[in-house]
Amino acid sequence: MKIDFPIKKIMDDDGFLLDSSYEKQINEQLVRDFYYNMVRIRTFDRKAINLQRQGRLGTYAPFEGQEASQVGSALALGSDDWVFPTYRDHGATLTYGADMTRTYLYWNGRVEGCVPPKGKKIFPPAVPIATQLPHAVGAAWAEKRKGTRNAAIAYFGDGATSEGDFHEALNFASVFQVPVVFFNQNNGYAISVPMEKQMNSETIAQKSIAYGIPGIRLDGNDCFAVYFETKKAVDYARNGNGPTLIEAVTWRTGAHTTADDPSKYRPADQGKHIVDPLVRLESFMRNYGYWNEDWVAEVKDKTAAEIEAAVEEMERFPAPNVEDLFDHVFAELPADLAAQKEAYLAQLGGQ
């Protein structure tokens, strides 16, 4: 069944606006916010991969190629909104105000990595697929019942749409007109399974029809399309109109995680035609007079220094305590888990 959800674009691959009316809505501060945050999280991401390869960080989930989706959506939020990330949305959480050292600590197995800065409503990263979606709906419903204008955004990948949690969350949110934005980053693969083998739907956006909510499909590598469409959806939600499903079509250049080998399931030339989102923004900056060599150099120096300082601080922390795996789940550890803990610690002691 053919259902038409065209991809919304504001900027083409060469950095030119497709609709001149957006020129009035784009200013130097907004452009600089995009560029600074996209450079910052890409530098963070590449550093994390290097640290993992050196044995200084645990298994890591990279996001290079998805910077426009994560920065554009995070910048569209208000300071009192909720963010519910997956294990791959640390670019969005860093943009929204998460602490960089704590973000590195998360990937080193320390519980501090799940604690947001004071005043920031950032849920711990969800590793089980789609479990954060009902949580986001619950938080948004609570805000509605309290009479606030706060909204929530829930990030998820294309694979999450095959989980029951996705459908339960959309159904509940649509029935109760909850102020939540469901933000999907569709890079075409659920780990190693291509989208066409995972679902019969041509798009993810069209799944909104079943729940009677707006569905938007946009170019996830166009930071302006992501920002303005997410902002519309968040404002729509906070004004009492209920949820929106956004499908941001993007492309992650690297592996699913540092433990993955995408060459086993992804053709080598796939994605080669896709223009890097940071390159597109740089082209836009040059085309419209926003490019400043000195400022760009300053941004790169500043972000590099921030990241090195965060790594140094992260590495001053002791190694994580394996007992935390057992001790912070139940008030009183059940007998079977107590036995598992004893056996596990005995095994570690024998190594």
Supply 276's token pair: 């890097």
Measured distance CA(102)–CA(76) in Å, rounded: 23
Helical (H) or strand (E) element with 194: strand 193-194
Supply 48's token pair: 């994390």
Measured distance CA(337)–CA(2) in Å, rounded: 51
* Residue 265 bears catalytic tag: yes
* Residue 96 bears catalytic tag: no
**Catalytic entry in 53, 145, 265, 286:** 265
Chain Cα centroid distance, residue 262: 20
* Residue 252 bears catalytic tag: yes
Measured distance CA(27)–CA(212) in Å, rounded: 35
Q: Which of 282, 264, 255, 194 is nearest to 16 (CA)?
A: 282
Q: How far is CA 151 from CA 121, 134, 243, 248, in A?
A: 11, 14, 9, 19
Residue 270 three-state SS:
coil
DSSP characters over 65-116: T-HHHHHHHHHTS-TT-EEE-BTT-HHHHHHHT--HHHHHHHTTT-GGGGPP
**Catalytic entry in 102, 217, 238, 256:** 256
**Catalytic entry in 110, 135, 252, 280:** 252
Could you give the residue numbers annotated as active site?
A: 252, 256, 265
